[in-house]
């Protein structure tokens, strides 16, 4: 290092030119580096989604989930396999170890899906393989609302979608809240009966007359001609003109026996913004694009488009991720400027304005160099990087202060300016290197933090390593070289000379001022080292004991005042989608009058899949609050909402604040699994009763089947065979009453996707009684299905969940305000050990926040130990003494007293992630 310092002073102009280059490049990098909300982390989850219209949960488990599980379980590197079966849908989710090779994993999953799909029913849609990526989550939601026809909103949303997706920065604009278009062929059973047309004939006619015929080409020897047989339907008119039967030389077309119209599928959900019908566009940006510029361009396009829209259409924005990034960037700039000014004020007051200016250069220089390194590594500015940069402000200037102060003293003693700064840099090089190395050693183990939390947090050590390494070069190369030009040699006053002379002679009592007071106090304390050591140990013991008994416990992530919250509306029974929406609307009306809520986005119905919601959830109301300085705390607002909605009969209201840190769902989660599914329900009932007895829990839920009925149509196959009927004939007839039969599809010019053609009965004939009146065409003519079909009610089967091939049920709960989930988990564990005896065939484990907290605690404890050991090696290398290294490391232990005292004084619990990182950082700094 001394040789490098000598080279720097010999080629000072080159060093200064390099500094200017670094500063300019850093400024350019800061302005051009992509700015994101969350880090671009590949969450180690791949899921396979399967759709089969109308399939029951039991059949979905047996026919869809199990064949897929059988193939997927052989994939290498799978940490856990979770599956879910529900009405019309099934999915299998694979969780890999964090840091996995996503491309290889996707390839492996696709290969296994191709093997498994041959075992799936023919009517099942093509399974889709999807990867979860935080970077592809929506960064902005644009909502169109208003009292206008649904088709108007859909048309406007689709036009806006095309415009937004035309931006280079936008990956996708997904429309939520719209319905798929269909061509609905409504047939009257009596008309079909009069012509003797069966449902099978109807289906076959459409299918056979809507085919792409590749007729080829004809070569006559005297020319070659392409031959076309146009057979694809292009509009509703083509469907109406299709022949379905010939009766006495008369051709019966669809138009004679049915009404054909282009419409939407039956609603399964509704959406509203501030009480008005709405459709949302969820905007996702491309990986690596600047979130602030992307959202500004999207807003500009929306403003341009809405100028030509009907007056009744209102536009609102929500979940704008750029706001957080702008706030953090503003905080970073303010922190850096404040740090520079404060340091310069202190240094100018102590050593003069030239020295203050030198030290002040080290902060922006280190920051810009660190950002240049991050930019060169292909990383982005995100919330974790910004947090790390703000955290680094206090660590950047120690080395620069030490070097400039020593150089200033040497110049005051008469040493020439060049020699003074060269001497100071060389003399302090190894102490500064050791000091920086110990700080870096504290953060180095965080690079190996496992799991998704680790993938997020690894940006912290990377940023600090880059920034602190840059500060080392600032302190030893650039600042001394600048000092050679800017430093000023000033003679010492009479008091200063006397103090220096006294210090050199060991006459400490002659030193004056604050330094003199400190020196004399230290002199007295050093006269009684054993007493002081015993006092410190006693103080350490007292504080640790006080925290053990009086501390507020442990939490996974600190609770912060949220900007958003969610109200889950739950209700039980066989409710139609319209009844569900009516109940949600009642809740919505009670909340709409609250001025503290800026935006209210409501969704109701059964199409809420993909969220961690109780099975009886009928609606979700998302709220965005006004600025926290202009309202009550969120806890009080949510308590007020519960009170306002308490008298609405038939609904259960759950309120949840926006989570701080990684999303884990409800904080207390108990997962019960067994190879014997019949054992789960009694065990869940026992666990839930135990939690209610312990108390302190709110919004308890579990996965047991909800009370309700479903209708089973049992076909007597033997009796049906006598009529020449079978299950397929009955199934087609029943589908005419329910969702309709998809007979074909076509792609019209004004639609981006294929439009299904479905055949069904008129709306007035879609009820339970019609199931008994259905008649099917057989070899004996029309026969009522009641001759060989029995309709009976049966208990409704809810969603079925599986983990690693076993049925599971989960009990989840939130805790009362001010109660720590970790404490309640300990109470549950103690109660289970002492009072509740579960069947040994049922396994119980804690999931969710407790699982993440336990993994993070174990890693951070190991990381702290490794960091101390690396620091010890650096200190032994520096001093060549085990005693000196041990002496310095004891300061780390004693400094934790301040951490615990701070937590006791503020009444805060110890945060596993944030407090843990703070203690590790403290170890490096101390």
Query: How would you classify the pairing of strands 800-803 and 806-815?
Result: antiparallel
Rounded Cα–Cα distance for residues 336 and 338 (Å): 5
Residues 6+ apart with CB under 8 A from 343: 356, 359, 360, 363, 397
Listed residue (798, 809, 818, 883) closest to 87, CA to CA: 798
pLDDT at 831: 85
- Token pair 């202190």 is found at 346
Q: Six-digit token pair at 228?
A: 């076309």
pLDDT mean by block of 10 residues, the chain; 926 residues: 83 90 92 79 83 86 92 88 88 84 88 91 88 75 86 88 90 81 81 74 72 72 75 70 76 78 82 86 84 91 90 86 81 76 75 76 87 89 81 80 86 84 90 88 85 79 90 91 71 53 58 78 90 93 91 80 88 86 92 89 71 78 88 91 90 82 75 89 89 87 79 85 84 84 74 78 84 80 84 80 89 85 86 78 85 82 88 89 90 89 89 83 81
Give, in order, the Cα–Cα distances in Å from 50 to each of 88, 268, 827: 9, 18, 40
Phi/psi of residue 839, each to 5°? -60, 135
Task: Please tell me the distance from the alpha carbon of residue 526 to that of residue 522, in angstroms, as a whole number.
Answer: 6
- Rounded distance between C-alpha atoms, residue 338 and residue 393, angstroms: 10
Cβ atoms within 10 Å, residue 790: 10
| 274 Ramachandran zone, left/alpha/beta (phi>0; psi -120 to 50) | left
In the prediction, which pLDDT does 540 show? 93
The answer for residues whose C-beta is within 8 angstroms of residue 327's C-beta and 6 or more apart is none
CB of 692 closer than 8 Å to CB of 611: no
Distance of CA 313 to the CA centre of its chain: 31
pLDDT digits (tens, 9 = 90+) for 811-855: 998 888 878 888 888 888 888 877 767 888 888 888 877 777 888
pLDDT tens-digit readout, 479-488: 898 888 765 5
DSSP letter at 60? I
- Residue-level pLDDT at 134: 63
Structure tokens at 294: 């992307």
Do 474 and 394 meet the contact criterion of CB atoms below 8 Å apart? no
- Quick one: pLDDT at residue 641? 93
What pLDDT does 610 receive? 46
Cα separation, 761 vs 744, whole angstroms: 17
Can you read off the two tokens belonging to residue 3? Answer: 């040789």
User: In the chain, helix, strand, coil percent, each to 5?
Assistant: 50, 20, 25
pLDDT of residue 645: 92
Cβ–Cβ contacts within 10 Å for residue 479, how many?
29
CA–CA separation, 747 and 824 (whole Å): 57
Integer Cα distance of 193 and 201 in angstroms: 12
- Which uninterrupted H or E stretch holds 159? helix 150-165
């Amino acid at each position: 290092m001394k040789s490098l310092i000598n080279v720097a002073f010999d080629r000072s102009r080159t060093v200064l030119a390099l500094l200017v280059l670094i500063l300019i490049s850093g400024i350019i990098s800061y302005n051009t580096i992509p700015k994101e909300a969350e880090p671009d982390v590949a969450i180690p989850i791949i899921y396979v989604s399967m759709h089969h219209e109308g399939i029951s949960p039991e059949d979905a488990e047996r026919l869809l989930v199990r064949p897929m599980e059988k193939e997927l379980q052989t994939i290498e590197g799978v940490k856990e396999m979770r599956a879910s079966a529900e009405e019309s849908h099934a999915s299998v989710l694979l969780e890999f170890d964090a840091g996995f090779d996503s491309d290889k994993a996707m390839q492996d999953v696709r290969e296994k899906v191709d093997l498994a799909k041959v075992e799936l029913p023919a009517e099942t849609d093509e399974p889709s393989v999807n990867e979860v990526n935080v970077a592809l989550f929506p960064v902005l939601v644009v909502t169109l609302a208003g009292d206008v026809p649904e088709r108007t909103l859909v048309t406007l949303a689709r036009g806006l979608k095309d415009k937004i997706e035309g931006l280079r920065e936008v990956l996708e604009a997904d429309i939520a809240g719209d319905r798929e278009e269909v061509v609905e062929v409504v047939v009257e059973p009596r008309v079909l009966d009069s012509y003797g047309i069966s449902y099978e004939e109807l289906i076959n006619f459409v299918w056979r007359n809507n085919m792409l015929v590749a007729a080829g080409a004809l070569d006559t020897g005297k020319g070659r001609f392409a031959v076309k047989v146009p057979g694809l339907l292009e509009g509703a008119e083509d469907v109406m003109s299709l022949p379905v039967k010939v009766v006495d030389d008369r051709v019966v077309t669809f138009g004679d026996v049915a009404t054909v119209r282009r419409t939407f599928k039956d609603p399964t959900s509704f959406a509203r913004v501030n009480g008005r019908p709405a459709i949302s566009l969820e905007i996702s940006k491309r990986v690596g694009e600047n979130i602030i510029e992307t959202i500004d361009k999207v807003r500009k396009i929306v403003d341009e488009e809405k100028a030509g829209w009907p007056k009744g259409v209102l536009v609102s924005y929500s979940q704008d991720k750029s706001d957080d990034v702008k706030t953090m960037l503003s905080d970073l700039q303010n922190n850096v400027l404040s740090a520079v000014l404060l340091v310069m004020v202190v240094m100018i007051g102590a050593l003069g304005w030239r020295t203050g200016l030198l030290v002040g250069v080290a902060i922006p220089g280190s920051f810009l160099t660190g950002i240049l390194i991050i930019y060169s590594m292909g990383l982005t500015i995100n919330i974790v990087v910004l947090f790390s940069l703000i955290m680094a402000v206090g660590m950047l200037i120690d080395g620069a202060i030490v070097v400039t102060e020593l150089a200033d003293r040497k110049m005051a003693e008469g040493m020439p300016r060049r020699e003074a700064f060269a001497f100071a840099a060389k003399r302090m090089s190894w102490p500064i290197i050791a000091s920086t190395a110990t700080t870096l050693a504290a953060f180095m183990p965080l690079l190996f933090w496992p799991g998704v939390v680790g993938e997020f947090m690894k940006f912290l050590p990377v940023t600090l390593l880059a920034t602190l390494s840059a500060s080392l070069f600032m302190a030893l190369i650039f600042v001394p070289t600048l000092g050679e030009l800017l430093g000023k040699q000033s003679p010492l006053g009479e008091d200063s000379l006397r103090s220096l002379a006294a210090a050199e002679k060991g006459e400490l009592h002659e030193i004056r001022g604050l330094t003199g007071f400190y020196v004399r106090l230290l002199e007295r304390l050093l006269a009684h080292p054993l007493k002081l050591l015993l006092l410190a140990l006693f103080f350490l013991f007292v504080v640790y004991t006080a925290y053990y008994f009086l501390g507020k416990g442990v939490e996974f992530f600190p609770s912060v005042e949220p900007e958003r919250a969610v109200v889950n509306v739950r209700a039980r029974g066989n409710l139609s989608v319209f009844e569900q929406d009516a109940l949600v609307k009642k809740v919505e009306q009670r909340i709409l009058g609250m001025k503290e809520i800026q935006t209210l986005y409501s969704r109701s119905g059964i199409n809420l899949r993909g969220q961690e919601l109780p099975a009886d959830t009928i609606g979700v109301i998302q709220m965005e609050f006004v600025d926290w300085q202009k309202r009550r705390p969120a806890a009080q607002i949510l308590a007020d909402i519960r009170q306002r909605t308490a008298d609405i009969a038939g609904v259960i209201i759950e309120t949840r604040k926006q989570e701080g840190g990684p999303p884990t769902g409800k904080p207390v989660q108990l997962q019960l699994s067994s190879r014997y599914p019949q054992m789960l329900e009694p065990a869940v009932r026992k666990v839930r009763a135990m939690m209610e007895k312990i108390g302190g829990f709110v919004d308890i839920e579990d996965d047991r089947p909800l009370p309700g009925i479903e209708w089973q149509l049992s076909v007597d196959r033997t009796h049906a065979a006598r009529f020449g009927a079978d299950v397929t004939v009955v199934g087609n007839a029943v589908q005419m009453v329910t969702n309709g039969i998809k007979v074909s599809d076509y792609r019209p010019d004004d639609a981006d996707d294929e439009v299904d053609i479905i055949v069904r009965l008129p709306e007035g004939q879609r009820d339970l009684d019609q199931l008994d009146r259905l008649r099917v065409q057989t070899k004996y003519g029309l026969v009522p299905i009641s001759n060989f079909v029995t309709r009976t009610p049966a208990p409704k089967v809810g969603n079925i969940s599986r983990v690693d091939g076993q049925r599971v049920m989960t009990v989840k709960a939130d805790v009362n305000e001010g109660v720590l989930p970790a404490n309640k988990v300990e109470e549950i564990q103690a109660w289970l050990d002492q009072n509740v005896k579960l069947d040994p065939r049922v396994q119980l484990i804690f999931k969710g926040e407790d699982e993440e907290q336990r993994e993070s605690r174990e890693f951070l404890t190991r990381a702290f130990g490794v960091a101390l050991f690396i620091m010890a090696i650096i200190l032994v290398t520096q001093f060549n003494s085990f005693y000196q290294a041990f002496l310095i490391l004891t300061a780390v232990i004693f400094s934790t007293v301040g951490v615990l005292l701070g937590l006791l004084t503020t009444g805060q619990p110890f945060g596993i992630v944030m407090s843990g990182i703070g203690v590790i950082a403290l170890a490096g700094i101390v």
